[in-house]
Amino acid sequence: MQIEQIEILNFLKRYSPFKELPDDLLHQTAMQVDIGYFKAGTPILRFGEPLQALHLVRSGAVETYRRNGVLYNRLSEGGIFAEQGLLRDKTVIFPATAIEDSLIYFIPVDCFELLYQSDEVFADYVEIGDTQRKKSGVLADKSSNDLMSSEVRQLIGRAAVTLAADATVQQAAQLMQQESVSCLLIVADQSKDAALVGIVTDRDLRNRLIAAGLDYQQKVAVVMTTELVCIEQHQFVFEAMLLMLRHNVHHLPVLEEGKVLGIISIADVIRYESQNSLYIVSSIFRQQTVAELQSLSTELASCFVRMVNEDANSRMIGAAMAVTGRSFKQRLLELAEQQLGPPPVPYCFLALGSMARDEQLIVTDQDNALVLHNDYDPVLHQDYFAALAQFVCDGLALCGYSYCSGDIMATNSQWRQPLRVWQQYFTDWIEKPDAQRLLNSGIFFDLEGVWGQVQWADQLNQQIRRQVKANPDFLACMARNAISRTPPLGFFKDFVLENDGQQNNSLDIKRRGTAPLADLVRVHALSIGCAATNTYERLLAVKAAGILPKGRADDLIDALEVIAMVRIRQQAKSIQAGRAADNKVKPEELSAFERKTLKEAFQILSFAQKFLKFRYPGGRQ
């Protein structure tokens, strides 16, 4: 066959995976190539753009990048790119830029697919590139070290370096240099069992000594951090990471029964992190646009599935999903402020419900609200905050957190109010509860500040605890509300047996299980003025307060875990099967063991509801 595109053909003949092609396929390919010239520094592919062709570098040089801007690959003459995107959903995964004046050959997608399907060598070549990416990638399917079962103790490389609090800052710096460590633990005195009083890091020296222009002969106690965030040695690496992310610290002292075993740094965790599902959290903050954030939501689903497969418990998964959700909100708010300019008055963005309780799963509504500074003037500031709320809520919806069907979102002006209005709302709800207010309380009283003036969230929480304790009638109403949703009586092979003898073929495990359990525990927690929002932590506090009959709190903790894990596993199964995850559970999809334990868990919940009714008889309706 005589072809006119001789130069193209000759070029293809020199490079894999084309040179291995049989002549007819090679000729067909050469005849379909189009060409483009890109000056050095011009983008060739932008993230998320539709892809129409396999790209081949004819001359020049091209770099491809990860979404976070980190270099992924550098290609020269004969290098191909965009194959991963073509193999996936035909959009650009790795953006590309010409770093020298470059001539690019475009092999159209139809031609690529023909080659991929008809030529094994070609298919292998483009796929090997893809698996190599997966191997080096952060979301490797097979994580070699099981993060969920790795305890922080394993990360401790050396004993912590300690220094007495009366040493000078210069001595501290010298010791750090000598021991080549980036942080020191500060103990009360020189004695062997001296109490831990603080921690000094490179950052503290920089921020509190050098930047503040203090004398080197200051006592180290002046620059140390005293609010220590520590972790117990038997806790998981995973939990260490959550702590660091949450408190924005880079070092964690590891304790064993209150005594320091050593220190782990963020670098230690990052070594694990490279294989870790939670990588997504740190990458959220590197995304530059809503579209880029949106693309992470599929990774969120695979992260969820992976955690389930790694036998994480419901608390870990809930916390990880909540941290992720929180990070999405924080990044969206940063992007919103970039776009809209700085806020005219300070504000606090609230997460409500399951996310505030650290119990968020993969399928979740966005429940959120805005607390504004008391100087908020609707005439001047309304447009800004309405736009901010819209940006964040739309962004969350794109990232997979569907709009709240009950319109509990910051876009609703009722839930976008100055602090004093919120205080008045809560006072009204607690002092004069009605059906709607109780419903609101169930959502808003699990609140957490995620961005801005988060201390306002703490203030509101304190107010709730104070006022609820002073209003026993409110608690009685909440108790009544908490038992309105009951668990089913039991499970049979293929149906759910309801209390009235009716049979259903599926069960909404959130409505009938996790939600009533959280409601019930909230009432007990509020009754003892517990500050925690997480259901498990609330249960621990309730247990410690001794308000439940002996053993019941532990039973509830077990029931919580069983019900939550069935829900989580069902969602993970749906995702793996390529279905949309929901809260429906069909008895025939459960193992006999799951059915049995779930039935027992429901009995515990049912009994706890009866106890609540007994504890709060009557109650104003």
Residue 56 binds another protein, judged by CB under 8 A = no
Q: Smaller CB distance to another protein: residue 31 or 214? A: 31
> Residue from 12, 21, 26, 33 that binds another protein (CB under 8 A)?
33
Q: Toward another protein, which CB reaches closer, 110 or 588?
A: 110
**CA gap 294, 288 in Å, rounded:** 11
What are φ and ψ of residue 223, in 5° steps? -100, -10
Rounded to a whole number of angstroms, the minimum distance from the CB of residue 279 to another protein is: 36
**Rounded (10°) angle between helices 290-309 and 552-576:** 120
Residue type, 115: L
Secondary structure tally for the chain: helices H, strands E = 23, 23
Task: Kindly tell me which of 14 and 234 has the beta carbon lying closer to another protein.
Answer: 14
Rank residues 42 and 131 by Cβ distance to another protein and give the closer one. Answer: 42
Residues 90-119 that bind another protein (CB under 8 A): 100-101, 103, 106, 108
| Site for another protein contains 14 (CB under 8 A) | no
Q: Which is nearer to another protein, 38 or 238 (CB)?
A: 38
Give the residue ranges of DSSP H helices in 74-168. 83-87, 109-118, 120-136
Which one of the spans 31-39, 207-215, 291-299, 573-581 is the region binding another protein (CB under 8 A)? Answer: 31-39
Binder of another protein out of 14, 16, 19, 42 (CB under 8 A): 42
* Identified binder of another protein from the candidate list 5, 171, 275, 294, rule CB under 8 A: 5
Instruction: Pick one of 16, 19, 35, 375: the residue that binds another protein (CB under 8 A).
Output: 35
The SS3 call for residue 405 is: coil
- CB of 8 vs another protein, minimal distance in Å: 6
What's the gap between Cα 400 and its chain centre? 12
Distance, CA of 217 to CA of 379 (rounded, Å): 54
Give the HSE-up count for residue 275: Cα atoms under 13 Å, Cβ half-sphere: 15
Closest to another protein by CB, 4 or 500: 4
Binding-site member from 15, 20, 27, 32 for another protein (CB under 8 A): 32
Cα–Cα distance measured from residue 597 to residue 491, given in angstroms and rounded to the nearest whole number: 10
Does residue 4 interact with another protein by CB under 8 A? yes
Instruction: Name which position in 13, 16, 22, 34 contacts another protein (CB under 8 A).
Output: 34
Show contacts with another protein in window 573-592 (CB under 8 A): none
Could you say whether residue 400 binds another protein (CB under 8 A)? no
Structural contact between residues 295 and 48, judged by C-beta atoms closer than 8 angstroms? yes
Number of residues that bind another protein (CB under 8 A): 24
Provide the minimum distance between the beta carbon of 7 and another protein in the complex, in angstroms, as a whole number: 5
Spatial separation of the C-alpha atoms in residues 263 and 286, rounded to whole Å: 27
Q: Is 24 in the site for another protein (CB under 8 A)?
A: no
**260 neighbors 162 (Cβ within 8 angstroms):** yes
By C-beta, is 110 or 179 nearer to another protein?
Answer: 110
- Name which of 586, 532, 611, 150 is nearest 359 in CA terms: 532
Rounded least distance, CB 37 to another protein, Å: 4
Residues of this chain, 60-89, that bind another protein according to CB under 8 A: 60
* Burial letters 109-134, b for 16+ CB under 10 A, else e: bebbebbbeebeebeebbeebbeebe
Helix (H) or strand (E) holding 38: strand 34-38
Residues that bind another protein in the complex, under the rule CB under 8 A? 4-8, 11, 31-39, 42, 58-60, 100-101, 103, 106, 108
